[in-house]
Chains A and B, each alone.
Chain A
Amino acid sequence: AAGMFLRLLSDVRWRAANPKWRRMTCCRRSASSTAEPHPVSLPAQAQVVICGGGIMGTSVAYHLSKMGWKDIVLLEQGRLAAGTTRFCAGIVSTARQVSIELKMADYSNKLYQQLEQETGVNTGYVKTGSISLAQTQDRLISLKRIASSLNVMGIPCEIITPKQVAQLHPLINIHDLVGAMYVPEDALVSSANVSLALATAASRNGVQIHERTSVSHVSVQKGCVAAVETDRGEIKCQYFVNCAGQWAYELGHSGEEPVNIPLHACEHFYLLTHPLKEPLASNLPTIVDPDGRIYIRNWQGGILSGGFEKNPKPLFTEGRNQLEIHNLQEDWDHFEPLLSALLRRMPDLEALQIMQLVNCPESFTPDMRCIMGESPAVRGYFVLAGMNSAGISYGGGAGKYLAEWMVNGYPSENVWPLDLKRFGTLQSSRTFLRHRVMEVMPLMYDLKVPRWDFQTGRQLRTSPLYDRLDAQGARWMEKHGFERVKYFVPPGKDLLDLDQSKTFYKPDWFDIVGSEVKCCKEAVCVIDMSSFTKFEISSTGDQALESLQYLFSNDLDVPVGHVVHTGMLNEKGGYENDCSIARLSKRSFFMISPTDQQVHCWAWLKNRLPDDSNLTMEDVTWKYTALNLIGPRAVDVLSELSYAPMTPEHFPSLFCKEMSVGYANGIRVMSITHTGEPGFMLYIPIEYALHVYNEVMNMGQKYGIRNAGYYALRSLRIEKFFAFWGQDLDAFTTPMECGREFQVKLEKGMQFVGQEALLEQKQNGVYKRFTMFILEDHDTDMDLWPWWGEPIFRNGRYVGKTTSSAYSYTLERHVCLGFVQHFDEKTGEELVVTTDFINQGEYEIDIAGQRFQAKAKLYPFSSLFAQRRRKDEVELSGYQRE
């Protein structure tokens, strides 16, 4: 689409030095084909080299230069904005599911709006608004959920009736609609021109732009970027930014030290038509019909319409293809379902003449979220790619966050959902990517209900007990490639098919999980938690203790055999990781972190631990199977199996000991659980896993043992007000904000990362507070269930969002966890959140536009649970002691 606009500018020789470059364009256009290819030679060195002249590369260059970095070189193998950016449909849409994506899109929209004024380049920006249609009630619910989060962000948005849709757009057939969402500020742009405008501004700010220069690889020295090798010579540099779009994967693998960027291209088709007899107005809203899998925008009096089909065509699996992006074939037969959907939505278009079917490859990622951040393997190697067809919507915001990351060390928002380090080498298999993106692309328009799991690329990492558990009715979900049990379907009981089980209401597994929870509370359950990331850190002398004491916020100088819950904080006191660390000996530590921390935590520690050959860190995740024995009878099962007394006098809470279980020796037993129920974690060398499991199940029979899954675990931990990293906690939340001051060694006079920030918070108070909400007037059977991301209202005013939720089988109520902020009523300024502020408010949680009353609590219901506990039971493992 953008091709037309682009040709005007594509022959520009980008010269930072020449302020009159725009005038030169005009005179050069005719002679461009014969002009010498590279009038400006490459610099020998630069601070930053950006590879890729599409929307991402130019946006990063623009924002870096705005933030004051000047020594920047941008390299493009062909012409600026000539790849996917050139072909992109140019829709700027803020209707996004993930909050960080929503923020990026909102920023992009505001940036593009003023870009023409700033740069003088015509960006084709038109505020058209967008209408997302719902053909089903479920779709309408998902739109309402998005509308709720847009509204609290201050982005105008309303749910409208089919009749209102017809008023906004003359061509739409509304007969099969149940409603729609209207976002009036969404816009259209010429994506290539936006990119050129960003390049123009960057260029004025001193960024050097070189076209027709391809990067062959990045040289690395001592784990840091050293230079970029191009077909025109080498540029020494400190930072490299890979914005190579669908070639990013390959570029990442071209160097000696591979950087894994898991993305894969798929063909994407859209249709261009000639103008209608009465040309369409250029401000006509863009239509998104996800149930029909299509989008429709006005384009030069006609329409541009494409979609995300069920059977995508992945391409370039084998790597860089010499086939020019422009020569991809149109495939009308493939487009047929989308064309049918288009004509069903706008029957009057039948007589409209076709101009072209464009085939424009887009890159997709394994989890449908884009990829940004620094490589865990090579310092100074940054990535921004894998936009899942939303490059224009994200371009501005993504470029801004990445620039902040490079300049300040971290972006101004929590970008963990997009962080490159959420992936490891395990997501880098081309086969995996090819299969996964074939699922991801249709998912763009599929209905996304709570707790959906990817179906492709599964069974990659499994526990040795996988087959045993599977045979007992386990239903699986996946985290970081690892199969984990959701729950166990009892024999003789059938659940709905995958497709039919999609719901925003009470799910079909409700009673199954309920009985697992009951068993955890009254007897004993076993949960396979092998996916957790496990590191061992040891040293010859005191180096391990000294380094860890600095890097972790809690005091690790505990007697050997004790377990400590601690955060791994950044300078601002935010949680980079939340883990349990057992002191195995004077000089060695065993660290357990969430599953998806495997890459991030490793890189964080590697970069901060002293370079000392006497200090070693090993990833032992694969060496141990972890079984959680949970429930009041866990102590009985374990003591019978080990012939060792396991009562609190002998085995106090937060204790770790190697012992024998059954025939197997060397089992690391810890008196911790991740739910607040009494119990033990067993870390079992994998070859003993089956034996120990069998022994536990046999011995447990008389105590009523059964298998349980993660859904039961989640219900338990949420009703106990336990925060989980990656869900509730992130790099922008501190221990002070979630009532965990007791896990911080502030009083001990020891230096640690984040200390100053925490001290300041201790003195001045916090600006948000982790709070537990119990839904009051919510009918579990009839009402929509909360998920996460629901807005929280205090006395009718928005104060924050939920981060997780679960049904508490004990309270027989829904529990939501979330952060409460305090915005000044007049200025909107953030104020300190006090205990009184939390306690003296009437709360409501907004689920898809419907508000439910909620009771806020800062402490769990210890008394309520205590009554149900046995007297002789193990003391709580104590996340929440005050």
Chain B
Amino acid sequence: FYLTPPQVNSILKANEYSFKVPEFDGKNVSSVLGFDSNQLPANAPIEDRRSAATCLQTRGMLLGVFDGHAGCACAQAVSERLFYYIAVSLLPHETLLEIENAVESGRALLPILQWHKHPNDYFSKEASKLYFNSLRTYWQELIDLNSGETTDVKEALINAFKRLDNDISLEAQVGDPNSFLNYLVLRVAFSGATACVAHVDGVDLHIANTGDSRAMLGVQEEDGSWSAVTLSYDHNAQNKHEVERVKMEHPKSEEKNLVKQDRLLGLLMPFRAFGDVKFKWSIELQKRVIESGPDQLNDNEYTKFIPPNYHTPPYLTAEPEVIHHKLRPQDKFLVLATDGLWETMHRQDVARIVGEYLTGVHHQQPIAVGGYKVTLGQMHGLLAERRARISSVFEDQNAATHLIRHAVGNNEFGTVDHERLSKMLSLPEELARMYRDDITIIVVQFNSHVIGACQNEE
């Protein structure tokens, strides 16, 4: 069984999406030029999610990847909801009031986010009312709190993450009279998701990370070579600080049971996550909710199963670690990706592959004749060669697709091997998950001119 190159391409490109920040005739004032994103499923259905949106009432752009486990319900909910929580957390008091007044009097709401979605990135219609009500409660509380201080992005991100996780938990405890929704909120709460979110506003880049997805900055050195700067900490057993944290939060007596086989309580790979109430609720609460819940939930062995050595919940948190980075002109791009990518590729290779791809496509040095003696024939040959380079080597129109092609198809020499690519992509569904994980990638390209100009102003 062999896939032809066009078949391979159609699989790789099925989920690709690109967004260019609209230019006003070369006067793009955003520090973001645009982004490319893509997903390659291994699970069926895929458990990864991605989101991207522009904040309309404040400045900045939000991008995130979400890696679900125990189903996709939680990742789906987080991908729909988290950015609203973040955007609301960032809103000044007056805007919140204006929005609340609009809702109160039934007027049209100010739009908060401009989403940039692939057609496959769906939003749940049924739950929108429920989600909206929770969000509204959140902003009402923010209005009542009115600290009067300007919103700190780091704090806003942390609050948003925690609040959303709290709402997910609460909605599952309260339930919903509609049986479909009731089952949905329970599935969301009992499944889990990690999140790695970037907020870019001018030269200020914030990364909020919960779990083991990762953000990586691609930096072009003066000699033109590429290096990687990681802007997030993985929350898993390989992170000593994380293991320490978990141990600190629980009595000494539990220490040896907390992390087993590199997993939290011997079960969970990420040490921080949304949902996963099995690691957060008390045993009594879990039992009560499951018993009063729908039959499907009762029949599910996984949800009924209580983790061993479960004494002092919560063991898990959705609180992110936030890293702030001031963008510099040499910071050319940001890669957000779920662990599916980082398992197969070293960050240094990621930086190089994306860097070369982006410069090849967009920054081929212009030719100038200057004072040289060049004949028409020579110039023609040179131009034909440059053209060929663009069209054949870089057949991908999307940096994320290009990266996936390498992640899945790279041979030992670090070049894409079509045969390998074909094999990996033609694996039957049930086998695919054993050879690779879901991969979700967002590549954000920065506008060095704007960043340079911002720097000079500061």
Chain B binds chain A: yes
CB B376 to nearest CB in A, in angstroms, measures 5
Q: Which of B365-384 contact A (CB under 8 A)?
A: 366-369, 373-377, 379-380, 383-384
In the bound assembly, the distance between CA atoms of A333 and B388 in angstroms comes to 12
Q: Are A318 and B25 in contact (CB under 8 A)?
A: yes
In the bound assembly, the distance between CA atoms of A356 and B380 in angstroms comes to 14
Q: Are B27 and A318 in contact (CB under 8 A)?
A: yes
Interface residues on B, range: 10 to 19
Q: Are A354 and B377 in contact (CB under 8 A)?
A: no
- Is B252 part of the binding interface, using a Cβ–Cβ cutoff of 8 Å? no
Q: Are B377 and A351 in contact (CB under 8 A)?
A: yes
Q: Which residue of B lies closest to A343 (CB)?
A: B380
Q: Are A343 and B376 in contact (CB under 8 A)?
A: yes
Complex contacts, B375 vs chain A, CB 8 Å: 350-354
0/1 per residue, B376-396, Cβ < 8 Å to A?
Answer: 110110011011000000000
A-side interface residues, number (CB < 8 Å): 24
**One of A247-255, A334-342, A547-555 at the interface:** A334-342
- Is B24 part of the binding interface, using a Cβ–Cβ cutoff of 8 Å? yes
In the bound assembly, the distance between CA atoms of A330 and B370 in angstroms comes to 10
In the bound assembly, the distance between CA atoms of A353 and B24 in angstroms comes to 38
In the bound assembly, the distance between CA atoms of A333 and B384 in angstroms comes to 9
Q: Which residue of A lies closest to B383 (CB)?
A: A336
0/1 per residue, A329-368, Cβ < 8 Å to B?
Answer: 1111101100110110000011111101100000000000
Q: Which of B328-371 contact A (CB under 8 A)?
A: 364, 366-369
Selected contact of A342 from candidates B25, B366, B376, CB within 8 Å: B376
Q: Are B380 and A330 in contact (CB under 8 A)?
A: no
- Is A389 part of the binding interface, using a Cβ–Cβ cutoff of 8 Å? no
In the bound assembly, the distance between CA atoms of A173 and B386 in angstroms comes to 26
- Is A94 part of the binding interface, using a Cβ–Cβ cutoff of 8 Å? no
Interface of chain A: mostly helix, strand, loop or mixed: mixed
Given contacts A317-B25, A318-B24, A339-B380, contact A333 B374 (CB under 8 A): no
- Is A821 part of the binding interface, using a Cβ–Cβ cutoff of 8 Å? no
Q: Are B376 and A354 in contact (CB under 8 A)?
A: yes
CB A349 to nearest CB in B, in angstroms, measures 5
Q: Are A352 and B376 in contact (CB under 8 A)?
A: yes
Selected contact of B367 from candidates A273, A317, A332, A351, CB within 8 Å: A332
Q: Are A354 and B383 in contact (CB under 8 A)?
A: no
In the bound assembly, the distance between CA atoms of A331 and B380 in angstroms comes to 13
Q: Are B24 and A354 in contact (CB under 8 A)?
A: no
In the bound assembly, the distance between CA atoms of A342 and B377 in angstroms comes to 10
In the bound assembly, the distance between CA atoms of A349 and B376 in angstroms comes to 7
CB B391 to nearest CB in A, in angstroms, measures 12
Q: Are B386 and A333 in contact (CB under 8 A)?
A: yes
Given contacts A317-B25, A318-B25, contact A333 B366 (CB under 8 A): yes
In the bound assembly, the distance between CA atoms of A333 and B366 in angstroms comes to 8
Complex contacts, B386 vs chain A, CB 8 Å: 333, 336
Q: Are A339 and B376 in contact (CB under 8 A)?
A: yes
Q: Which residue of B lies closest to A340 (CB)?
A: B380
Given contacts A317-B25, A331-B366, A333-B364, contact A354 B380 (CB under 8 A): no
In the bound assembly, the distance between CA atoms of A818 and B14 in angstroms comes to 58
Q: Which residue of B lies closest to A305 (CB)?
A: B376
Complex contacts, B373 vs chain A, CB 8 Å: 353
In the bound assembly, the distance between CA atoms of A353 and B369 in angstroms comes to 10
CB A302 to nearest CB in B, in angstroms, measures 10
Complex contacts, B380 vs chain A, CB 8 Å: 336, 339-340, 343, 350
Given contacts A343-B377, A350-B375, contact A357 B383 (CB under 8 A): no
In the bound assembly, the distance between CA atoms of A642 and B369 in angstroms comes to 76
Selected contact of A356 from candidates B27, B367, B369, B387, CB within 8 Å: B369
Selected contact of B379 from candidates A331, A332, A356, CB within 8 Å: A332
Q: Are B374 and A353 in contact (CB under 8 A)?
A: yes
| Chain B positions near chain A (C-beta within 8 angstroms) | 24-25, 27, 364, 366-369, 373-377, 379-380, 383-384, 386-387
- Given A342-B376, A351-B376: 10 more A-B contacts, CB < 8 Å: A271-B376, A330-B369, A333-B366, A339-B379, A340-B380, A343-B376, A351-B377, A352-B375, A353-B376, A357-B369
A-B pairs with beta carbons under 8 Å apart, 5 shown: A273-B376, A330-B368, A331-B366, A333-B367, A354-B376
| Chain A positions near chain B (C-beta within 8 angstroms) | 271, 273, 315, 317-318, 329-333, 335-336, 339-340, 342-343, 349-354, 356-357
